[in-house]
Amino acid sequence: MQALSQKTSRLGLILLALLTLSTVALFTAASVQIWYATRPNQIASLELDAAVWSLVGTLFAALLLLALSLGLAMAIAGQLWRMQRLVTHAQRLAADQHKRWEAVLEASSDGILLADVQDIVERANPAAQVMFGNPKDQLIGRALRELVPGMPGPEPGQPHAAAAAGNGLPTCYDTEIPSTRDRSFRAHVWSRQLQLQNGTFRLLVIQDLSASIHQTQRLEFLEQRDVLTGLLNRKEFERRMQRMLADSAGSQTNYVLCYIDIDQFKVINDTVGHTAGDALIEQLAALFEVKLNDAVLLARLGGDEFGALFMNYSEARARARCDEMLRSIRAFRFTWNERSFEIAASIGVTAFMPDNDSAVAELAKADVACYVAKLAGRNRVHVYRDGDESAADHHCEMQLVTTISDALNRGRFQLHAQPIVPLGKNGAGLAHYEILVRMLDENMQLVMPGRFIAAAERYNLMPAVDRWVIRELFSTRGAQLRTWYASHPEQFLFAINLSGNSLSDEDFPAFLKHQFEINRVPPASICFEITETSAIGNLRGARGLMRDLAAMGCRFALDDFGSGLSSYSYLRELPVNYLKIDGSFVQDIGHNSVNHALVDSMNHIAHVLGLKTIAEWAEDDATIKQLESMRLDYAQGYATGRPMLITDCDFSAGKIPG
């Protein structure tokens, strides 16, 4: 149809051109007639009469005019076809758009209502019908205020278009919407006035917040509760307990905290699996909820640990309640896959007033009391008393000894390195590195030296640890040490700590010499650090070992100087090359004039004796500047570099790890 319209228009244009030609023909005929009339003598030889020419021109013009009329008619028809086509296309687009809007309304999960100028519902999409629990015919014709309480705008009966003053601005608010489904739901409502061709309307978009509220409540539950049992988790237990203590501060309210640990729970996990273990925890939690129903707080504190807080309870009453709880646990039988297990528990109890201590501290006391109950044979109640920590600490230390022995057998140690850097123009040589040891427990978690070294020294395990360090370092870094020595024969690379136990070990010197030989490690590339306390405590053994190794080319540093007897006379007795000033004097050197004087004195005496000084615990740039101004030689601490795994370090000349 569009092609036909275009062809008709083109034909009209052609006929319009013929009209122009006819006009020219008429003008030509008239001109000929005039010419004949004015020049009769010049046309005597012509046989045609002027009237004949005039008649021919007139007929030709008439034909052209007729063609012109037809052309105009056809051109007009073509334009009408084109307009009709455009109108049809626009109608089709409008219909498609209407279908799309209808599809949006049908598919939307939000309820959509369209009301007239009197706020009477005219349209309601399926989601709105579901929300309000009414079919479409029961929603259409109802007032919006019946459906959506608290809706802002004009009073009932007042046209909302007038109240809105024609601004068309949307409003948003939350409200509680009743439903015929015997429930109400919280909703977020978006309202706006619309000016359409057929009048003024109000559009309401209603979002049901039930799912969002449920999700929020679920997240709050997961944040506060143990997923398996539904009891409070440890974090929420501590938070609520601390709030209760704060609220009752200054009162005479008595609190009792019970810490319950299931005995031999690991046996069930290992025997019949973790699914059975979870089932046992669920059943015990249900038992505790019944038997400890007067507890103000009840929580699962850990894997097999539970906590209960009682208010206005005496210690004796709580003790009796826990004894009763133990009898209930012993009477409980756990069955899994036709196997039956007897269950027992240990309970620690601590009684306190709200002003005594924090929730965390009281939990720690109850935990210690529970631990003492286990040490005493399990399946019993123990009330916390002063001194319980020492018993628990001793047992923990014994367990740690077992862990150290196992780590030695399985090689669960790591070597770390921390740089010791020269200070400004005062320091001489290149950076070197102290080798530090870290232990991994049975769960491959890092154990810092502060936890295990004291136990290893007390139970004579440090010589074995020292040997592991030397064996590991020499065997893995021997080639690097040889390369270093070839370039820097006067500068050692690694400093290794030796314990006092190793100094007393008669076989240790032979072990050291053997390690140097088999790994071809140049002795001059190694420095040994010996603490001042251990050296003075075994002066003869230390002096003999140090002289033997010094003769081989090794260097020595006296570690933690200032923390022990600190007699300068010992410096002349021991062949040391470096004096490491204890960090307790260094860390506040900028604020403590006494420490400043002591460090200055140690540095001066060391230099007089020809020793280099190393300041420990140099934690910031301000301390570094102080040490430089005092002309110390080296510094070690976080300001110069943190300890890193030895495998992550670059020991090239001048490089500092981290």
| pLDDT tens for each residue of 214-244 | 766 676 777 788 888 999 998 899 999 999 9
- pLDDT recorded at residue 161: 44
Whole-number Å distance between alpha carbons of 448 and 400: 12
Q: Scanning the structure block, which residue is given the tokens 């280099």?
A: 612
Write phi, then psi, for 529 (nearest 5 degrees): -105, 130
Whole-number Å distance between alpha carbons of 219 and 145: 34
- pLDDT recorded at residue 657: 43
Where does the pLDDT of residue 295 fall: very low under 50, low under 70, confident under 90, or very high at 90 and above?
very high
User: Given a cut of 50, is residue 44 above it in pLDDT?
Assistant: no
- pLDDT recorded at residue 326: 93
- pLDDT recorded at residue 167: 47
Per-residue DSSP letter, 292: T
- pLDDT recorded at residue 187: 81
Write phi, then psi, for 634 (nearest 5 degrees): -135, 160
- Give CA 104 to chain center in angstroms: 37
Where does the pLDDT of residue 273 fall: very low under 50, low under 70, confident under 90, or very high at 90 and above?
confident
User: Is residue 306 within 8 Å of residue 260, measured between CB atoms?
Assistant: yes
The H-assigned helical ranges of 377-448 are: 388-410
Tokens of 543: 């002096």
pLDDT in tens, 172-210: 777 777 766 567 778 888 787 777 767 788 888 887 877
User: Is residue 611 within 8 Å of residue 404, measured between CB atoms?
Assistant: no
pLDDT in tens, 90-101: 667 766 665 676
Count, in order, helices (H) and strands (E) of the chain: 23, 22
Mean pLDDT of 624-652: 90
Helix (H, G, I), strand (E, B) or coil at 582: coil
The H-assigned helical ranges of 411-461 are: 449-458
Q: Scanning the structure block, which residue is given the tokens 């916390």?
A: 384
pLDDT in tens, 563-603: 654 556 677 778 899 999 988 889 889 888 888 999 999 99
- pLDDT recorded at residue 191: 81
Parse the chain into domains and list their residue ranges: 2-102, 108-213, 227-385, 413-648
Whole-number Å distance between alpha carbons of 73 and 83: 15
Per-residue DSSP letter, 231: S
- What letter represents residue 355's amino acid? D
Look at phi and psi of residue 411 and say left if phi exceeds 0, alpha if psi is from -120 to 50, else beta. left
Write phi, then psi, for 303 (nearest 5 degrees): -55, -55
- pLDDT recorded at residue 377: 84
Where does the pLDDT of residue 271 fall: very low under 50, low under 70, confident under 90, or very high at 90 and above?
confident
> What is the largest distance, in Å, between two alpha-carbon atoms of the chain?
163
- What letter represents residue 224's amino acid? Q
- pLDDT recorded at residue 163: 42
Higher pLDDT, 250 or 5: 250
List CB contacts of 193: < 8 A, sequence separation 6 or more: 160, 161, 164, 166, 167, 168, 200, 201, 202, 203
Query: In Å, what is the CA distance from 439 to each residue of 210, 334, 408, 410, 496?
Result: 52, 38, 9, 11, 16
User: Is residue 407 within 8 Å of residue 445, measured between CB atoms?
Assistant: no
Where does the pLDDT of residue 51 fall: very low under 50, low under 70, confident under 90, or very high at 90 and above?
low
User: Given a cut of 70, is residue 49 above it in pLDDT?
Assistant: no
- pLDDT recorded at residue 561: 84
* 420, β-bridge pairs: 432
Tokens of 414: 């790591």
Q: Give the mean pLDDT of the chain.
A: 80
Whole-number Å distance between alpha carbons of 601 and 541: 28
Tokens of 174: 């939350």
Tokens of 146: 């019946």
Whole-number Å distance between alpha carbons of 581 and 634: 10
List CB contacts of 210: < 8 A, sequence separation 6 or more: 185, 186
User: Given a cut of 60, is residue 314 above it in pLDDT?
Assistant: yes
Q: What is the 3-state secondary structure (H, E, C) of 462-498?
A: HHHHHHHHHHHHHHHHHHHHHHHHHHCCCCCCEEEEE
Q: What angle do CA 266, 272, 278 make, to 5 degrees?
A: 65
User: Is residue 353 within 8 Å of residue 248, measured between CB atoms?
Assistant: no
- What letter represents residue 571's amino acid? L
Q: Which helix (H) or strand (E) holds 370?
A: helix 359-375
User: Is residue 437 within 8 Å of residue 469, measured between CB atoms?
Assistant: yes
Identify the architecture of domain 227-385 in CATH. 2-Layer Sandwich (3.30)
Buried b (16+ CB within 10 A) or exposed e, 475-507: eebbeebeebbeebeebbbbbbbbbbbbbbbee
Tokens of 562: 């200032």
- pLDDT recorded at residue 260: 95
Where does the pLDDT of residue 165 fall: very low under 50, low under 70, confident under 90, or very high at 90 and above?
very low
Number of C-beta neighbours around residue 35 at 10 A: 13
Per-residue DSSP letter, 620: S
List CB contacts of 615: < 8 A, sequence separation 6 or more: 580, 581, 583, 586, 599, 623, 627, 632, 634, 635, 636, 637
Number of C-beta neighbours around residue 569 at 10 A: 7
pLDDT in tens, 390-410: 666 656 776 788 888 889 988
User: Given a cut of 70, is residue 613 above it in pLDDT?
Assistant: yes
User: Is residue 349 within 8 Å of residue 381, measured between CB atoms?
Assistant: yes
Whole-number Å distance between alpha carbons of 535 and 501: 10
Q: Scanning the structure block, which residue is given the tokens 């929603």?
A: 139
Judge residue 630's burial from the number of C-beta atoms within 10 Å of its C-beta, 0-12 exposed, 13-18 middle, 19 or more buried. middle
- pLDDT recorded at residue 45: 46
Query: In Å, what is the CA distance from 177 to each residue of 148, 156, 210?
Result: 6, 18, 11
Measured between its terminal Cα atoms, the distance across the chain in Å is 80
Whole-number Å distance between alpha carbons of 268 and 272: 6
Name which of 342, 330, 345, 340 is nearest 263 in CA terms. Answer: 345
Mean pLDDT of 245-250: 89
Q: Which helix (H) or strand (E) holds 610?
A: none
Helix (H, G, I), strand (E, B) or coil at 176: strand
pLDDT in tens, 281-290: 999 999 999 9
Where does the pLDDT of residue 154 fall: very low under 50, low under 70, confident under 90, or very high at 90 and above?
low
pLDDT in tens, 349-372: 999 998 877 888 888 889 888 988
Name which of 365, 443, 366, 367 is nearest 406 in CA terms. Answer: 443
Per-residue DSSP letter, 120: B
CATH of 108-213, one of 3.30.450.20, 3.40.50.150, 3.40.50.720, 3.30.559.10: 3.30.450.20
CA Rg, the chain, in Å? Answer: 50
413-648 has which fold?
Answer: TIM Barrel (3.20.20)
User: Given a cut of 80, is residue 321 above it in pLDDT?
Assistant: yes
Task: List, edge to edge, every strand of the sheet that includes 345-352.
Answer: 297-300, 305-311, 255-262, 345-352, 381-383
pLDDT in tens, 441-500: 888 888 888 778 878 887 778 999 999 999 999 999 999 999 999 998 888 899 999 988
